[in-house]
Amino acid sequence: MTSPATPSDREKVVSKLPAWLRQSLKIRAAQYGIEIQTATEQGIRDWCNLAATTASVDTSGADSFSTFLPPGQWEGFRQICNDRRVSLIQGLAQSIQLWLDSNPAPDVARPEITRRIVVCNQKGGVGKTAITAGLGEALAEDPNTLHSVGVAKALTKALRASQVHTDEPEQYSPLDIENLPGPGLRVLLVDFDPQCHLTNQLGANPLPLNGDSLTNHMAGDAKGDLRDLIVSVDDEHFDGRLHLLPACNDAFLLDVRLSAVRAREAALERALAPLEADYDVIIVDCPPSLGLSMDAAAYYGRRRDGEKPGLSGALIVVQAEDSSADAYELLTTQIDDLRNDLQVDIDYLGIVVNLYDSRRGYIATSSLQGWVDIKDPRVVGLIGDLKEQKEAVRMKTPLLSYAPKSQQAIGMRALAREVL
What 8-state DSSP symbol labels residue 105?
P
Query: What confidence score (pLDDT) does residue 406 get?
Result: 95
Given 3.40.140.10, 3.40.50.10490, 3.40.50.300, 3.40.50.620, which CATH number is that of 115-419? 3.40.50.300
Euclidean distance between CA atoms 107 and 115, whole angstroms? 18
Predicted TM-score (pTM) of the model is 0.91
Rounded to whole angstroms, the Cα distance separating 272 from 266 reads 10
Contact present, 159 and 420 (Cβ < 8 Å): no
Quickly state the pLDDT bin for 160 (edges 50, 70, 90): low
- The band of 163, judged by pLDDT with boundaries at 50, 70 and 90, is low
Contact 280, 315 (CB under 8 A): no
What does the pLDDT look like over 42-81, one tens digit per residue? 999 999 999 988 999 999 999 999 999 999 999 999 999 9
**Neighbour count for residue 167 (Cβ, 10 Å):** 6
Q: Where are the domains of the chain?
A: 2-102, 115-419
Residue 123: pLDDT band (50, 70, 90) is confident
pLDDT of the residue at 168: 52
CA dist., res. 298 & res. 312, Å (int): 10
169 within 8 A of 387, measured Cβ to Cβ: no
Q: Tens of pLDDT along 345-388?
A: 999 999 999 998 888 888 788 888 899 899 999 999 999 998 99
User: Is the peptide bond prior to 274 cis by the omega test (within 30 degrees of 0)?
Assistant: no
H-run or E-run covering 236: helix 235-238
Residue 3 clears pLDDT 50, i.e. is over it: no
